[in-house]
Amino acid sequence: MTENKSSQPETKEGIHKDFTNDMTYGDYLQLDKILSSQQGLSGHHDEMLFIIIHQASELWMKLILHEMNAAKESILRNELEPAFKMLSRVSRIQQQLIQSWDVLSTLTPAEYMEFREKLGRSSGFQSFQNRLIEFTLGHKKEGVLSVYKHQPELYEILQSALEDKSIYDAAILAMSKRGLGIDAECLDRDWTEDYTVNTSVEEAWLTVYRDVNKYWDLYELAEKLVDIENKQQLWRYNHMITVERIIGHKPGTGGSAGVSYLKQVIEHRFFPELWSIRTKL
């Protein structure tokens, strides 16, 4: 039977075909750089999975920092509403990161052992973007900066983030600007220090939650922050479970305690008063 050529889909006349002098999709996204960056060291089939999961995670982290830093600056300007969409976007990005552990968990212990030694001392513990996210959320640990001393540019970026206000500090300042009583020590403190629970901050959040109509914007900000912390804790938990599933309780490649360290991290709260008030409401 002769095929009726007229029944085949025709190329739309409007489709542009000559890119001699025009930018293509690949050019705009610089796909030549991105897609040539998966350089395994072992030749093992599953190393590609390992590399792409971590590279993709770093790209999502870059977007989290882009959105969260813009949201923080908006809050510091006392412009809360523009920050809400940015913070909503952050929590959805976090969901992508959480789901990535499900993909990585298809890597079995036997498969990972085939190329783990090729990683040398490199480890996710050294992710400077993950550290920046933690600093931006308010979890400050000056000691971790020593890992980046051999990279002066990254060290300077991290040092600056360590010395800067966190997004929670910005939220507390916003409450103070609205006339809610916040202790002076919370408004002008050493920003390099990890945030600790403060009774005046808890009372201020209780006031917000007890009069939502009057403080709707602060209430909405609080709930956006809770969304982000909730997702961050889920990411931490899935990270811990995936690591335990693949390497058990072996030390991390970078020298960390591995699963036992990750379990300790899960206990940490970024915005403690936003959780404690739920019992008191």
Q: Which residues are annotated as a binding site for substrate?
A: 50-54, 112, 116, 253
Annotated binding-site residues for heme read: 239
Phi, psi (degrees; rounded to nearest 5) at 263 = -65, -40
Place of tokens 């970024």: 270
Phi, psi (degrees; rounded to nearest 5) at 215 = -115, 40
Question: Which DSSP symbol is given to 115?
Answer: T
Half-sphere exposure of 64 (CA within 13 A, CB side): 28
Annotated binding-site residues read: 50-54, 112, 116, 239, 253
The whole-angstrom separation of Cα 82 and Cα 77 is: 11
From residue 221, give the alpha-carbon distance in Å to each of 181, 217, 245, 268, 273. Answer: 18, 6, 36, 21, 14
Give SS3 for 48: helix
Q: Which two tokens stand for residue 211?
A: 């009069």
Half-sphere exposure of 246 (CA within 13 A, CB side): 26
Torsion of the alpha carbons at 54, 56, 60 and 63, rounded to the nearest 10: 120
| Region for residue 50 given its phi and psi (left: phi exceeds 0; alpha: psi -120 to 50; beta: otherwise) | alpha
The whole-angstrom separation of Cα 92 and Cα 262 is: 23
